[in-house]
Amino acid sequence: MKKYLLPILLILLWGCGNKQLESENYTLSENNNKLQKQVEHLNSKIDSLYNVIIELKKTPNFYYEECLIAIDSAELNPSNKLFSEAIKKLEDFLNKYPSHENSSSVKNLINNVNDSWSTLADESYKKGINSFKNNNYLKAKEYFSEALIIKPGYKDSEEFIKKAIEAMPLPEDVMRNINKYCEEDNTKRGELNESGFNFCVDRQKDGYKEFKHLMDKNKEHSSGWLSELSQVCIKLYTKKGITDWGMAAFQLRYNIDSYENVVYARKNGMITDAAFKNCATKWWMNQAMWGLIEDCLDI
């Protein structure tokens, strides 16, 4: 009898375990159903709230508030993009709600924003002039760059940036690089050609300054492709740690020009998005990229 006792006990325990497991599974399933219903209920409320917001955004007062927020953003972080967006919102408001009670104030706001736009650009410009007069060329360049960010083409800011860069002494490491490059390039059989050396130094200085100017002028792209492109241009014309700044600047200028050509072609429907994607995928980061992309597109 004893020999049958253990199997019987195991069978009984297995049966109890199954019942408990079934009970737990049932409870879990019931909880899941409750949770699912709660989620569906919440989703329904979210959808309702979203629809309310959509309807609210259609109202003139809501749109008017958006206009005011856009103006605040532009004045807190002055830039051509934000000011343009603020003006566009205000003009859109007038087009949508010409008879609204706030329409007259919106017209005044457009004038005020335009005035503020010019005033902020002028403030940076004047600071740039003062810094330039005080021989603080680095600060002058920063202020003139600010003026251009706020209002592209503002007065002669770009010319002053060039002058500031011209007047700034080159970093010591850059001058060492230039002297070494020109010395190697103008030495034959152990004899230095001084006139060639001096001409080379001037050319390399101009190249370095142009490179810096191009980077400043196109700084809105500095966190994207321009940073990559500049590194490619330097790498292309650096041998044994010595950079040919004349050629690096030429390559940078050539590719920026190609970028502008590609952008123009895309905006004017001269190339398809598919063609651009194909060429960009093929040539991106392959040496100097935008020039090769332009060639690929055959613009």
Same domain, 202 and 257: yes
Residue 257 is assigned to a structural domain of this protein: yes
**Which domain-ending residue is among 115, 130, 159?**
159
Q: Is residue 154 part of a domain?
A: yes
Neighbours of 30 (CB within 10 A): 10
pLDDT of residue 196: 94
The CB density around residue 207, as the number of other CB atoms within 10 Å, is 21
Per-residue pLDDT of 255-272, as tens digits, reads: 999 999 999 999 888 999
Judge whether residue 19 has pLDDT over 90: no
Average pLDDT over residues 223-246: 90
Indicate whether 55 belongs to any domain: no
* Final residue of a structural domain among 99, 132, 159: 159
Is the same domain home to 222 and 243?
yes
Per the model's pLDDT, the better-predicted residue between 275 and 282 turns out to be: 275
- Boundary (domain end) residue, out of 111, 140, 159: 159
* Residues 81-110 pLDDT 10s: 888 888 888 888 888 888 877 778 878 888
Tell me, yes or no, whether 105 lies in a domain. Answer: yes
Q: 142 and 81: one domain?
A: yes
Tell me, yes or no, whether 150 and 173 share the same domain. Answer: no
d(CA 98, CA 106): 10
Q: Are residues 271 and 198 in the same domain?
A: yes
- Higher pLDDT: 52 or 238? It is 238
Q: Are residues 275 and 183 in the same domain?
A: yes
Strands 191-192 and 187-188, how do they pair? antiparallel
Q: Examine the domain organization and report whether 285 and 173 are in the same domain.
A: yes
Are 272 and 192 part of one and the same domain?
Answer: yes
Measured in whole angstroms, the distance separating CA 136 from the mean position of its chain's CA atoms is 28
**Domain region containing 153:** 60-159
Same domain (yes/no): 203, 114: no
Residue 252 lies in a domain: yes
Residue 73's alpha-carbon distances to 84, 93, 128, in angstroms, are: 11, 18, 24
Residue 115 within a domain? yes
- In the three-class reduction of DSSP (H, G, I as helix; E, B as strand; rest coil), residue 242 is classed as strand
In a domain? residue 40: no
Counted domains in the chain: 2
Same domain for 182 and 153? no
Residue 194 sits in the same domain as residue 79: no
Bridge-based pairing of strands 238-239 and 242-243 is antiparallel
Whether 177 and 152 map to the same domain: the answer is: no
Per DSSP, which regions of 151-241 are E strands?
Answer: 187-188, 191-192, 238-239
Spatial separation of the C-alpha atoms in residues 269 and 10, rounded to whole Å: 80
Q: Residue 265 falls within a domain, yes or no? A: yes
Alpha-carbon distances of 50 from 9, 26, 46, 57, 112, rounded to whole Å: 61, 36, 6, 11, 34
> Any idea which of 1-5, 22-26, 33-37, 86-90 has the lowest mean pLDDT?
1-5
